Amino acid sequence: MNYRIASPNMTRSRSIAVYALLGAGILVSGCSREPAAPPRTQNPAANTQPQTSAPQQAGAVVDDVAITALVKTQLMADESVKGLAVNVDTQNGVVTLSGKVASGLERDKAVQVARAVSGVRSVVDSMVVN
């Protein structure tokens, strides 16, 4: 049996492709969201309270997942950042970067890449320089 060992560049390319496809799929699935009309009740006064509908909450989650996928994809594509070493979490458009990086320059670049992604409101840097 012949086994071929994948080179680091081949593995990185595959990872980038997987994250790009994941991000594209998430973006496409969230494109046609329309807020649902609030349910009608017999009592008109009951309709005066603002309600957060399930589709709006789900839309926020989809947006956060899409932002996470896009940030991770951009980090993987950037040669100066070891994207696999940086964890990305997003909540309400706030991206938190964590993990170990080799230098302060790599940390700064990761933050810069994350801030450049559409939909990111702010970036929390929790990375540790090794």
DSSP category for residue 40: P
Q: Can you tell me the distance from the alpha carbon of 45 to that of 66, in angstroms, rounded to the nearest whole number?
A: 38
Q: Around Cβ 29, how many Cβ atoms within 10 Å? A: 12
Alpha-helical (H) ranges within the chain are 8-29, 54-77, 104-115
DSSP category for residue 103: -
Check residue 89 and give its pLDDT.
95
Q: Specify the DSSP element, H or E, that contains 126.
A: strand 122-129
DSSP category for residue 60: H
Q: Can you tell me the distance from the alpha carbon of 54 to that of 60, in angstroms, rounded to the nearest whole number?
A: 10
Check residue 59 and give its pLDDT.
61
Check residue 127 and give its pLDDT.
96
Token pair of 78 as six digits: 């950037």
- pTM of the predicted model as reported, rounded to 2 decimal places: 0.58
pLDDT tens digits in sequence order for the chain, 130 residues long = 555 555 555 566 677 766 766 666 665 555 545 555 555 555 555 555 555 555 556 566 679 999 999 999 999 999 999 989 999 999 999 999 999 999 999 999 999 999 999 999 999 999 999 8
Check residue 53 and give its pLDDT.
57
